[in-house]
Structure 1
Amino acid sequence: MKKILIILALFLGNIFFTQAQTAEEKKVTEAVEFLKKAMIDGDKVSLEKIAHQDLIYGHSNGNMETKTMFVEAISSGKSDFKTIDLTEQTVKIHGKTAIVRHKLFAETNNGGVAGTVKLGVLLVFQKTKGQWILLARQAFKI
């Protein structure tokens, strides 16, 4: 009987841990969606909110931006996303750090020139004051 209770306790503990992890992954996924919407809308306030003060935003061409540069490029329309579709997204959480990978397909209009983008993206979020904030981003061509 004791063995059955131990096995049951381990099983229930595993279910609880899995659900807690899934709930946190959902919060990270919501942060990614918040970022995506802010980028499409060019919403400066939302971009400021989701971006960590020490953000490093890496582009697929090797250019790197700070938080200020990233927010300005998107909110001014210099870098203009009309649509963003994310596929094959994975979220892995390690303490207060979340690693998100996905493929990004987007329609852009940069400098009046319409274009499309197909990228692989790695995002690093940090949990700060209960919120998942974008700390780093690196894109690569696919």
Structure 2
Amino acid sequence: MKTIITTVLLMTASILTQAQSKVPVISKEETAVNAGIEKLRVAMIAGDKAGLESVLGKELYYTHSNGHIETREQFIKAISTKKSDFVKIDLVHPSVKFLLEGEIALARHILVADTNDGGVPRHIFLGIVQIWKKEKGDWKMISRSSFHVPEEDAH
């Protein structure tokens, strides 16, 4: 009986150890990049110029799904004046990967959003790839590209 109990306890401990080892560890840097992504999302909805300026690198290239490219200044103006009006933004299937000894972060997600550009409501699904660069200890987005994805990929 003792052998059976010991075996069961060892198997349980082994299973719990394996389950714990599969829990992803989120680094301090990944947490910081994710905080930047969230700050950008909130600033886009609010049209918050200062919030946008705080997370966007000076050399930003913001590429829309139709191929149109905006500079940092053009993007900030479009969002802060509500020419590009995001009413709601959800980000699904996020991932962050670090490159070049942790100085560059590649962030990907699917953006599910309600917009109201020019008074025309739309519901959009876009794949997003962002490049974030560490500048003086802070993470700044320096590039963003988007592409259309089917609605079923956003769930």
**TM-score, scaled relative to structure 1:** 0.85
2:109 corresponds to 1:119: no
RMSD of the alignment, in Å? 1.5
Match of 1:60 among 62, 65, 70: 65
Match of 1:136 in 2: 143
Provide the secondary structure at the position in 2 that maps to 1:111. helix
Q: Which runs of 5+ in 1 are unaligned?
A: 1-17
2:110 corresponds to 1:103: yes
Provide the secondary structure at the position in 2 that maps to 1:49. helix
Alpha-carbon deviation of 1:24?
1.0
User: Is the strand fraction higher in 1 or 2?
Assistant: 1
Match of 1:44 among 41, 49, 55: 49
Alpha-carbon deviation of 1:23?
1.6
Q: Which runs of 5+ in 2 are unaligned?
A: 1-23, 150-155
Match of 1:90 in 2: 95
User: How many aligned positions are there?
Assistant: 125
Match of 2:14 in 1: none
Query: Which 4+ stretches in 1 moved above 2 angstroms?
Result: none
The correspondence of residues 17-36 of structure 1 with structure 2, limited to 5 A, is 22-36=27-41
Q: Distance in 1 between matches of 2:40 and 2:142?
A: 12
Q: Distance in 2 between matches of 1:136 and 1:113?
A: 27
Match of 1:70 among 55, 71, 75: 75
What do residues 99-122 of structure 1 show as CA deviations (whole Å, max 9, x unaligned)?
Answer: 000000000000111111100000
Provide the secondary structure at the position in 1 that maps to 2:121. strand
